[in-house]
């Protein structure tokens, strides 16, 4: 029976084949529309489609021209042309490309020749009458014929400039980007997701809802937590502490800096030096800002002797770390230089590993359900034998053993996962977690890692039953990622309209006029006493503007109070998310709201 991983791999390969074929057809359409003098460069596939680079010479094309190219592509698809592959000896292939004045392809072919290639692959399109309509140097694969493609499952998206081979010294080409999927329905869903993503962009909503800010005088990638974001952080930490206490974690704290000796011993230096802030030199010693918590936790473990009876030991910390991400990679809250990580390290025996690992996965699943994350996938990231001793700890047998241990634990949890080569941490296999937001946008959220190497470097031990010293296994886990990335995701996932327990602004009281300020303040006082986050709008604005202002801030419940409400000790409730309006007795509203918060209801 075909496994889930095999089915996923087959689907990915089939989609790549279709994208390759669409790219080939786009080049054919461009040639038909703009003539044989257009030179063709490269065309890799992307996460959502493909792009192709062209040299149009003196001709300039614009975004408006894309519709014409799309129309020509659909004509080609409708002709049910066949794709036929053939190979040529390298010299003959280069001669063919030179005769056709394909200067970019000639350059690529010569590079392949220098790398030892002895022949090159070409694909030609054949009409129903057996005539060649187009030919391109390409590894493939392609679909057998164009009728195997859904003519409405692609869309040319935009035009951009791109230097040949990414070098600004080379000619600038015209790059045409395209979306491409299995079916037109997949494409439609993706385009809808893109539109929704624009509306939910955490950078836009973060500013609108006054959650966080960046300032040039503070520094790029160093977010400032405004009061509203700080409320969300407190709620998330409260959630984490409750769960970690239930699973037997102990909370620890570690400093923001350490000597270089610590990171040399852990193995993070020099491999991660480019991702760390430059060292500070004091008293003839180098200090680094903390980029990861694990070396500090290893030292906390080593601070007191351990017996097998003490294991597993679980240390948890929302540790603040600093990473010098390249300025071009910085992206809102999703990639920053200052991050507060939901980190923990579990030290256990080999026999305890599986149950501990499964418990971590169960914690992930609980969080996913709490936040309404319906689609997620875990990726077993493995080592590469080729990089042993360079990128990975040099112990092939131990890698194979531990990867099987992680695979076995994953199988027992029943979660969907795939496997990826050459993606592990240097000290062991890991699980990377991919999640999809409510609109289908994919995010990399968290990690769960097995460390079989670093505890030995720190001489971490426990006294076993037989009186000998043994080295524990360490599990690194961060199910709630960092505050920055998690809240960035949640802003987009919920569109800025958060579940009540997480919302920084839960209730806004809107008195109809000044005559009801006193009652509004009485309501506000009772809500505050029940630990509900509430504010009142006592401005001179009219009722409709006050309500609009509250809705702009996505406040969950807007309580309008006037004469009727004052006389009945009630409130008129407007639910921001559902737009439903009800009238409730004040005590009942407070009771229901407190329950909704305490139970962390999704909605």
Alpha-carbon dihedral angle through residues 300, 301, 303, 308, given to the nearest 10 degrees: 160
Pairing of strands 430-436, 469-470: unpaired
How sure is the predictor about 316, in pLDDT bands with cuts at 50, 70 and 90? very high
Cα–Cα dist 325/329, whole Å: 7
Beta carbons of 363 and 415 less than 8 angstroms apart = no
* Burial label, 125 (beta-carbon count in 10 A; 0-12, 13-18, 19+): buried
416-439: b (≥16 Cβ within 10 Å) or e: ebbbeeeebbbbbbbbbbbbbbbb
Which are the contacts of 368, defined by CB distance < 8 A and separation ≥ 6? 374, 376, 435
How sure is the predictor about 3, in pLDDT bands with cuts at 50, 70 and 90? low
428 phi and psi angles, rounded to 5 deg: 160, 170
Pair of tokens at residue 22? 């669409």
Nearest of 119, 128, 133, 100 to residue 27 by alpha carbon: 133
3-7, 354-358, 384-388, 489-493: least confident range:
3-7
Is the predicted pLDDT of residue 446 greater than 70, yes or no?
yes
Q: What radius of gyration, in Å, describes the C-alpha atoms of the chain?
A: 30
Pairing of strands 581-585, 257-259: unpaired
84-98, 111-125, 434-448: least confident range:
434-448
Q: In sequence order, what are the beta bridge partners of 293?
A: none
Q: Per the omega criterion (within 30 degrees of 0), is the bond before 405 cis? A: no
Beta carbons of 189 and 440 less than 8 angstroms apart = yes
Pair of tokens at residue 586? 């004040």
Cα–Cα dist 423/380, whole Å: 8
Domain range summary for the chain, segments of one domain joined by +: 4-183, 203-494, 507-598
Beta carbons of 472 and 348 less than 8 angstroms apart = yes
Pair of tokens at residue 171? 């000619």
Coil, strand or helix: which one is 246? helix
Cα–Cα dist 327/330, whole Å: 5
Nearest of 488, 519, 540 to residue 586 by alpha carbon: 519
Q: Per the omega criterion (within 30 degrees of 0), is the bond before 268 cis? A: no
**Residue 434, by phi and psi: left (phi above 0), alpha (psi -120 to 50) or beta?**
beta
pTM: 0.82
How sure is the predictor about 511, in pLDDT bands with cuts at 50, 70 and 90? very high
Is the predicted pLDDT of residue 11 greater than 80, yes or no?
no
**Residue 96, by phi and psi: left (phi above 0), alpha (psi -120 to 50) or beta?**
alpha
How sure is the predictor about 2, in pLDDT bands with cuts at 50, 70 and 90? low
Task: Write the pLDDT tens digit of every residue in 540-570.
Answer: 999 999 999 999 999 999 999 999 999 999 9
Is the predicted pLDDT of residue 4 greater than 60, yes or no?
no
The answer to whether domain 4-183 and domain 203-494 are alike in fold is no
**How many Cα atoms within 13 Å fall on the side-chain side of residue 400?**
4
With residue 479 as reference, give the H or E element that holds it: none
Residue 385, pLDDT score:
81
324 phi and psi angles, rounded to 5 deg: -90, 80
User: Residues 381-392: what's their mean pLDDT?
Assistant: 79
Cα–Cα dist 20/51, whole Å: 10
Give how far Cα 582 sits from Cα of 528, 558, 560, 574, Å: 21, 11, 10, 7
What angle do helix axes 4-34 and 66-78 make, rounded to 10 degrees?
110
Is the predicted pLDDT of residue 252 greater than 90, yes or no?
yes
Cα–Cα dist 342/332, whole Å: 19
Averaged pLDDT of the chain:
91
**Percent of the chain scoring above 90 in pLDDT:** 69
Residue 418, pLDDT score:
86
Hunting for tokens 């053993």 — which residue is that? 401
- CATH 3.20.20.370 for domain 203-494, yes or no, is no
507-598 CATH fold: Rossmann fold (3.40.50)
Which are the contacts of 446, defined by CB distance < 8 A and separation ≥ 6? 342, 364, 432, 433, 477, 478, 479, 480, 481
CATH of 4-183, one of 3.30.980.10, 2.70.70.10, 3.30.30.60, 3.30.360.10: 3.30.980.10
Cα–Cα dist 559/529, whole Å: 17
How sure is the predictor about 122, in pLDDT bands with cuts at 50, 70 and 90? very high
Cα–Cα dist 274/268, whole Å: 11
Beta carbons of 336 and 318 less than 8 angstroms apart = no
Hunting for tokens 């296999």 — which residue is that? 429
Give how far Cα 180 sits from Cα of 88, 238, 294, 454, 545, Å: 30, 43, 42, 44, 45
Alpha-carbon dihedral angle through residues 277, 282, 284, 285, given to the nearest 10 degrees: -50
**Percent of the chain scoring above 70 in pLDDT:** 99
Beta carbons of 430 and 424 less than 8 angstroms apart = yes
Beta carbons of 19 and 180 less than 8 angstroms apart = yes
Cα–Cα dist 112/150, whole Å: 33
């Amino acid at each position: 029976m075909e496994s889930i991983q095999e089915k996923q791999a087959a689907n990915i390969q089939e989609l790549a084949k279709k994208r390759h074929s669409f790219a080939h057809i786009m080049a054919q359409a461009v040639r038909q529309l703009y003539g044989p003098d257009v030179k063709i460069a490269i065309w890799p596939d992307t996460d959502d489609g493909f792009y192709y680079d062209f040299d149009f010479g003196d001709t300039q094309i614009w975004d408006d021209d894309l519709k014409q190219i799309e129309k020509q592509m659909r004509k080609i698809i409708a002709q049910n042309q066949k794709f036929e592959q053939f190979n040529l000896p390298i010299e003959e292939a280069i001669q063919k490309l030179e005769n056709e004045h394909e200067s970019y392809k000639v350059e690529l072919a010569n590079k392949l020749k220098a790398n030892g290639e002895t022949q090159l692959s070409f694909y030609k399109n054949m009409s129903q009458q057996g005539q060649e309509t187009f030919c391109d140097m390409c590894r493939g694969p392609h679909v057998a014929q164009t009728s195997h493609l859904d003519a409405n499952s692609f869309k040319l998206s935009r035009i951009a400039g791109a230097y040949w081979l990414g070098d600004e010294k080379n000619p600038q080409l015209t790059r045409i980007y395209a979306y491409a999927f299995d079916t037109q329905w997949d494409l439609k869903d993706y385009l809808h997701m893109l539109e929704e993503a624009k509306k939910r962009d955490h950078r836009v909503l973060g500013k609108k809802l006054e959650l966080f800010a960046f300032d040039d005088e503070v520094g790029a990638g160093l977010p400032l937590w405004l009061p509203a974001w700080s409320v969300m952080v407190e709620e998330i930490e409260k959630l984490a502490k409750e769960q970690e206490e239930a699973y037997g974690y102990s909370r620890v704290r570690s400093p923001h800096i350490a000597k270089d000796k610590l990171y040399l011993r852990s193995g993070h230096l020099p491999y991660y030096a480019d991702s760390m802030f430059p060292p500070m030199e004091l008293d003839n010693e180098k200090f680094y800002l903390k980029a990861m918590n694990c070396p500090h936790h290893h030292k906390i473990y080593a601070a007191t002797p351990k017996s097998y009876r003490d294991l597993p030991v679980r240390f948890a910390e929302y540790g603040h770390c600093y990473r010098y991400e390249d300025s071009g990679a910085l992206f809102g809250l999703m990639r920053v230089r200052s991050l507060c990580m939901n980190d923990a390290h579990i030290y256990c025996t080999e026999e305890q590993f599986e149950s501990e690992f499964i418990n971590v996965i169960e914690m992930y699943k609980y969080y996913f359900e709490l936040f309404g994350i319906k689609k997620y996938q875990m990726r077993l990231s493995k080592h590469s034998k080729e990089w042993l001793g360079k990128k990975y700890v040099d112990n092939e047998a131990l890698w194979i053993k531990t990867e099987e241990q992680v695979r076995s634990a994953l199988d027992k949890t029943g979660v969907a996962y795939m496997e990826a080569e050459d993606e592990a941490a240097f000290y062991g296999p890991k699980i990377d977690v991919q999640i999809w937001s409510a609109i289908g946008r994919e995010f990399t959220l968290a990690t769960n890692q097995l460390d079989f190497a670093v505890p030995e470097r720190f001489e971490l031990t426990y006294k076993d039953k037989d009186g000998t010293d043994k080295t524990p296994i360490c599990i690194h886990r961060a199910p709630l990622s960092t505050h920055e990335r998690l809240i960035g995701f949640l802003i987009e996932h919920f569109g800025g309209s958060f579940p009540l327990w997480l919302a920084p602004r839960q209730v806004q009281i809107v008195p109809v006029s000044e005559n009801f300020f006193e009652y509004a303040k009485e309501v506000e006082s009772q809500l505050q006493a029940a630990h509900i986050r509430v504010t009142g709008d006592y401005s001179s604005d009219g009722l409709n503007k006050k309500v609009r202002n509250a809705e702009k801030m996505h406040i969950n419940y807007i309580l309008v109070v006037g004469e009727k409400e004052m006389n009945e000790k009630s409130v008129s409730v407007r639910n921001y998310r559902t737009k439903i309006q009800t009238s409730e007795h004040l005590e009942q509203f407070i009771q229901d709201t407190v329950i909704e918060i305490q139970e962390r209801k999704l909605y």
